[in-house]
Structure 1
């Protein structure tokens, strides 16, 4: 297998890394970050050139999300990128063009509690990241993929805060006007993209958390030698490294399949399972190996713990995902190359 990226994709990753690390410090972002991402072409990296995008596909989006996770940048990249891809496929070019320029964004949700009746939708979506300030929500209602404008009668938003301290909102709909973007295939594409995007974001979070932990245990000494030389510390860090690399392999595999237009039902769910498991184990390892300093909120490692826990449960957690994988394999025994 060749997991290397093209020169264009590597350039995008390098640019995203530079922008994020220049403009974000320990989770605190420069207010100009969002517009800088737009000006650098990073918001539209996965979108078509007819909308002002870079035409670098879902791999490009995944690499930008990985770099976002590494610095814990508090911007609505994940839900906005996934929503924009569905909007592009439905021909809603005006919304996509505004997003690429950094003028507005939409948020994507899946498996929510919405019911469609004609051209109106009712129900509730909870803990929707960055919904406050969003133009529309792209969400599922049974077998339908919908777009609902948030600034209209019949829609109310209640501010919430996620575990990671990022802003979110509870959305309530009562016979709000909705636009149908697609049916089963569009719903499944949105779901798979959300799963894989979440895995790539988590990869950035835990990879950086482990790198910081490795540096800390090399620099910090106890009993006359670096902490990293103690067998228990080294073994725990090694287990965390295995988790990170398992997440990397599964997330990048699913990312490639989606970018190539292939079905990634099993691969996306597997990547999400690893995002939850690796997120849990690596976050706890990083916190543990930092010892008492990890409990000091003036030190940044706790932010990686909070982000990892937020991402872990954002789409249901490991047990929920494993149950879904089992159900999919039982109902569709040919997925994943099974006979």
Structure 2
């Protein structure tokens, strides 16, 4: 594959960089929601929200690669914009699998900058169960740490209905829905989502097979793209600091131990970059990408941990001051490290995929496999 940006990626990346330039020094209060409605409306006015969505929803017809370019710029500035959840996952999923009425009701307000949608997708297991009722489902369950849930007008909820997952669009004012805000490492945008006999009609259901799995893959790739921007800017700030900060009348960047850590951080950032674009390209081309996405998320998690800590260590105590930009990148990187599964979880996922591949190639290999667990994956005994 060609790792160079397409013309559309370059244009959207440049537009996003210019729009987010004022936010690179943004230091929110610790109790901020991490969402600025004025910025969200500015993104809509600039065409960033609609650019990388299908034409059928009012977008410009670009796709996943362009979304990742925008997300990388959001990570670079740590701008308070829920593009990953509201556009790259929710709006993209509805645009791909929803009907025209669902697009009009839920996606168009988002593209105008008037609303947001928060996905509540399965982690290790599906958190919500749907029981059949006339013209729809009754939803029950609880899921914590729903990103962007504190302020979202609508939730895209993965629901177990019978033997498979479906997606339900649940408005905030739905009877039986309780939203409780949570304070996570870098703000208060997350929420506990609780559904108790909450009704959803067929008009709010997406029953297309594979839609939930598609949304989960896009969510993981969105996290990786954000992490790439976060780490690239954190490393840039750290290198600038190492050139300017002096000890013993020499820049600390001239000391071998510091140079080695910065060199390792550079390798980590490039690993995130290469694995992200490989996985995103395969996903956009409709090729099998489960392994590549797991590898990309592994690097986003492991490299995120190492680069974030290197940045703070080189900055010394300055790196954790609340009025200094580096603490925003540290906390954002730590959140992205665990969003969608830690590095260890990704290694287990990769091991499961390799085992399944071996079992298909050699049926005798399956004799050592146990029944699928809650994630739907088999594990060797």
TM-score, L = length of structure 1: 0.94
Residues 235-260 of structure 1: per-residue CA shift (max 9 Å, x gap) = 00101111100000001111112222
What displacement does 1:316 show? 2.1
Q: Indicate how the Cα distance of structure 1 residues 80 and 304 shifts in structure 2: closer, same or farther if over 3 A, else same.
A: same
What displacement does 1:134 show? 1.7
Residues 78-115 of structure 1: per-residue CA shift (max 9 Å, x gap) = 11111111111212211111111111121113214111
Distance (Å, rounded) in 2 between the aligned partners of 1:24 and 1:294: 15
What aligned pairs does 1:150-165 form with structure 2 within 5 A after superposition?
150-165=172-187
Does residue 33 of the first structure (1) align with residue 39 of the second (2)? yes
Within the candidate set 160, 167, 171, 1:146 is matched to: 167
Between Structure 1 and Structure 2, whose CA radius of gyration is higher? 2
Within the candidate set 113, 118, 124, 1:102 is matched to: 113
Q: Report SS of the residue matched to 2:15.
A: helix
What displacement does 1:150 show? 2.5
Match of 1:93 in 2: 103
Q: Given that residues 155 and 172 in structure 1 are in contact (C-alpha distance below 8 angstroms), is that contact kept between their aligned partners in structure 2?
A: yes
Q: Indicate how the Cα distance of structure 1 residues 334 and 140 shifts in structure 2: closer, same or farther if over 3 A, else same.
A: farther
Match of 1:282 in 2: 307
Greater shift in the superposed pair: 198-207 or 109-118: 109-118
Residues 257-313 of structure 1: per-residue CA shift (max 9 Å, x gap) = 222233311111111111111110000000000112223222211111111111111
Match of 1:231 in 2: 256
Match of 1:124 in 2: 142
What displacement does 1:14 show? 0.5
Distance (Å, rounded) in 1 between the aligned partners of 2:333 and 2:53: 27
Within the candidate set 111, 130, 133, 2:151 is matched to: 133
Q: Given that residues 198 and 311 in structure 1 are in contact (C-alpha distance below 8 angstroms), is that contact kept between their aligned partners in structure 2?
A: yes
What displacement does 1:225 show? 1.1
Give the superposed CA RMSD: 1.8
Q: Indicate how the Cα distance of structure 1 residues 262 and 109 shifts in structure 2: closer, same or farther if over 3 A, else same.
A: farther
The unaligned stretches of length 5 or more in structure 1 are none
Q: Given that residues 27 and 322 in structure 2 are in contact (C-alpha distance below 8 angstroms), is that contact kept between their aligned partners in structure 1?
A: no
Distance (Å, rounded) in 2 between the aligned partners of 1:27 and 1:66: 19
Distance (Å, rounded) in 1 between the aligned partners of 2:92 and 2:148: 17
Match of 1:21 in 2: 21
Distance (Å, rounded) in 2 between the aligned partners of 1:13 and 1:106: 23
TM-score, L = length of structure 2: 0.84
Distance (Å, rounded) in 2 between the aligned partners of 1:285 and 1:31: 33
Q: Given that residues 129 and 166 in structure 1 are in contact (C-alpha distance below 8 angstroms), is that contact kept between their aligned partners in structure 2?
A: no
The unaligned stretches of length 5 or more in structure 2 are 29-34, 361-381
What displacement does 1:24 show? 5.0
Greater shift in the superposed pair: 301-310 or 1-10: 1-10
Within the candidate set 129, 144, 153, 1:115 is matched to: 129
Match of 2:287 in 1: 262
Distance (Å, rounded) in 2 between the aligned partners of 1:3 and 1:203: 15
Within the candidate set 76, 80, 94, 1:70 is matched to: 76
Greater shift in the superposed pair: 264-273 or 280-289: 264-273
What displacement does 1:70 show? 0.8
Q: Indicate how the Cα distance of structure 1 residues 160 and 262 shifts in structure 2: closer, same or farther if over 3 A, else same.
A: same
Q: Indicate how the Cα distance of structure 1 residues 39 and 258 shifts in structure 2: closer, same or farther if over 3 A, else same.
A: same
Q: Given that residues 144 and 180 in structure 1 are in contact (C-alpha distance below 8 angstroms), is that contact kept between their aligned partners in structure 2?
A: no
Q: Report SS of the residue matched to 1:25.
A: coil
Q: Report SS of the residue matched to 1:281.
A: helix
Distance (Å, rounded) in 1 between the aligned partners of 2:37 and 2:212: 34
Q: Given that residues 218 and 226 in structure 1 are in contact (C-alpha distance below 8 angstroms), is that contact kept between their aligned partners in structure 2?
A: yes
